[in-house]
Amino acid sequence: MWKEKYKTEFKQKLGNFTAKLKNYVSTDNGEWSVKGFIDVYRNVYAISTDTKIVSKILEIHIFPQILRFADEIGYKIILTEHQNYYPDLTFMNKENESVMFAVDLKTTYRKKSGVSSFTLGSHGSYFKERDKKKNIQFPYNQYLGHFCLGVIYTRTDEHTNTSSNSKIYQVNELRGTNEQIEKGKPTTVNDLKSITSVIKDFDFFIAEKWKIASDKQGSGNTANIGSTLSIDDLRNENGIFSRLGEEWFDEYWINFGSATMVKNDLVTIANQTGTWMEPFLGTGVVAFNSGYKKAILSDTNPHLIRFYKEIQSKTISASSMKQYLEEEGNELRNKGYEHYLKVRSRFNNGAFSPYDFIFLSRAGFNGMMRFGRKGNWNIPFCKKPNRFAQAYITKITNQVALVSQIIQPQPSWTFHNTSFEDIIPLAMENDIIYCDPPYYGRHVDYYNGWKEKDEEVLFKLLSETKAKFILSTWHHNDWRENEMIKRFWKKFNLVTKDHFYHNGGNIENRRTVVEALVCNFDTNQINTHNHGEKVKAKEAQQLEMVWA
């Protein structure tokens, strides 16, 4: 309770302070009061419109005001020890040093719609290991709150910046006179107001980081959290997680990319601009994180496709799922295995309720999903009557809410209950196909089974496609190798990565497995070929594909 009190008070004061910064940095007509650099001869040099330069100068410009503000409210500012550390500023209470707040300074410029993207910090080491101090001033969990002090501005037209009609002077102190010179040379301090500022029309805001975060990574070369790009949403703290809660933000970004990071890297390298095509949808986690605006998604399991279609049509909502799980969870808590059998029987006897489908998938043994030859659910009970605790229900309903937002609107995202043989031939040259079929020799839970013939057909279709593809399969484990690699997939580029499977009925299926990502484009930007797989020369790739 005391922590929340400190946080609320700090946020309010920081917001009041931030509201005054616009007047501090602006001239009467709304331009930036900083005009350029000055040298010892009183010459003024125009500032570049480069966003990194503008951001750094803005930070320097407002920093004295931030120091003064911190002192007035009883805090001291601690700067990061290294440039790449988080956060930019640590506000530490002078009387109680356990009261700390992280504040990052973020600047961005207006575009025709919204703002240019900016990041909200890493979702890497310090974000995941919150009691550690790697790349962070203090452990993440020691901060009572994480805030963004944001600055939005408009960039002055570049033509105006470089071709100003103002007079341009240079001081010649040896002669003691001002000599007007040609355009493009420095201006003197005597003529500052005639210089057109490179930015104008400031808008400052304060927001808790999680409330303006996106579900997509931000720009840059590291694993960063992206932000919402709507100006109104930034001002009003109305990002996608603001309606879901901070716990969901934490869980989502802590786990982001743990199983899909290399896949995401390959998606970036592929650089396709068309449609995301996924003929083995499964949970959909890769598709939902792909960032693509259009998607064709398919699976032979009719229950999966019906579930996502009903989320898309709003037949299933977060609130309806919550009500269902609370009711059925109470029954499971009171009756245990008896109620699990009741729901399973109801599902298998033709009801096929998407709600029951989720219940069974979460209450079944080890989270596995398996159907018999007649399409009946045949996973035993997980033996956890308290499976649907409130926190777990919240997690599931938050996922429903998030997916509901991602897969809108129709028909940009379409779902199909059909075979991969019907989907892959639809791909065009600028599309990307992501395939995560059952792992031959390992999986037995595919709705229609998976045989060597299926693997061969998949290989033939992917060999013939004009689109770029990424195929997820397994390379080897402690006991054996995937014979399909040598038989088929060796013809393409392979990227390998260790992965630990926590579920599976056999102990063999619960150990570390080396995954292989197969693709038909260059992968020399990926340095995780950790099991002897070499990047093929482009000519070799093409030759082998011709003979496939």
CATH number of the domain that residue 531 is part of: 3.40.50.150
Query: Residue 368: pLDDT band by 50, 70, 90 thresholds?
Result: confident
Which pLDDT belongs to residue 241? 85
Which pLDDT belongs to residue 479? 74
Evaluate if residue 500 carries a pLDDT over 60. Answer: no
Q: What is the CA radius of gyration of the chain?
A: 29
**Could you read off the pLDDT of 4-20 as tens digits, one per residue?**
999 999 999 999 999 99
Q: Do 95 and 137 sit in the same domain of this protein?
A: yes
Q: In whole angstroms, how far apart are CA 239 and each of 94, 186, 271, 393?
A: 33, 44, 27, 22
Which pLDDT belongs to residue 371? 78
Sign, CA torsion 140/142/145/148 = negative
Q: Do 193 and 288 sit in the same domain of this protein?
A: no
**Could you read off the pLDDT of 288-313 as tens digits, one per residue?**
888 888 999 999 999 999 999 999 99
Residues contacting residue 537 through CB under 8 Å, at least 6 positions apart? none
Last residue of a domain, one of 217, 235, 253: 253
The CATH number for 207's domain is 3.40.600.10
Evaluate if residue 442 carries a pLDDT over 70. Answer: no
Which pLDDT belongs to residue 448? 58
Which pLDDT belongs to residue 539? 38
Which amino acid, 15? G
| 432-437: average pLDDT | 94
Q: Do 183 and 241 sit in the same domain of this protein?
A: yes
Evaluate if residue 499 carries a pLDDT over 60. Answer: no
| 132-150: average pLDDT | 95
| 197-215: average pLDDT | 94
Evaluate if residue 37 carries a pLDDT over 60. Answer: yes
Which pLDDT belongs to residue 272? 81
**How far apart, in whole angstroms, are the C-alpha atoms of residue 394 and residue 390?**
6
Task: With CA atoms as reference, report the closest residue to 385 among 330, 346, 321.
Answer: 330
Which pLDDT belongs to residue 366? 67
Q: Do 243 and 272 sit in the same domain of this protein?
A: no
Which pLDDT belongs to residue 294? 92
Q: Do 489 and 539 sit in the same domain of this protein?
A: yes
Which pLDDT belongs to residue 365? 78
Which pLDDT belongs to residue 498? 60
Of 91-105, 429-443, 507-521, the range with the highest mean pLDDT is 91-105
Q: Do 455 and 518 sit in the same domain of this protein?
A: yes
Q: Do 109 and 209 sit in the same domain of this protein?
A: yes
On whether residue 49 sits in a domain, the answer given is yes
Give the rounded distance of the alpha carbon of 387 from its chain centre: 29
Query: Residue 536: pLDDT band by 50, 70, 90 thresholds?
Result: low
Which pLDDT belongs to residue 509? 46
Q: Do 154 and 284 sit in the same domain of this protein?
A: no
Q: Do 139 and 287 sit in the same domain of this protein?
A: no
What domain count does the chain have?
2
Evaluate if residue 163 carries a pLDDT over 80. Answer: no
Gap between the terminal Cα atoms of the chain? 66
Higher-confidence residue: 188 or 60? 60
Domain limits for position 166: 2-253
Q: Do 199 and 266 sit in the same domain of this protein?
A: no
Q: Do 221 and 281 sit in the same domain of this protein?
A: no
On whether residue 427 sits in a domain, the answer given is yes
Opening angle at CA 434, ends 431 and 436, nearest 5: 165
Give the range among 150-159, 225-234, 521-530 with minimum mean pLDDT. Answer: 521-530
Give the range among 5-9, 174-178, 482-486, 524-528 with minimum mean pLDDT. Answer: 174-178
- Collapsing DSSP to helix, strand or coil, 394 comes out as helix
Q: Do 220 and 271 sit in the same domain of this protein?
A: no
Query: Residue 153: pLDDT band by 50, 70, 90 thresholds?
Result: very high
Evaluate if residue 169 carries a pLDDT over 50. Answer: no
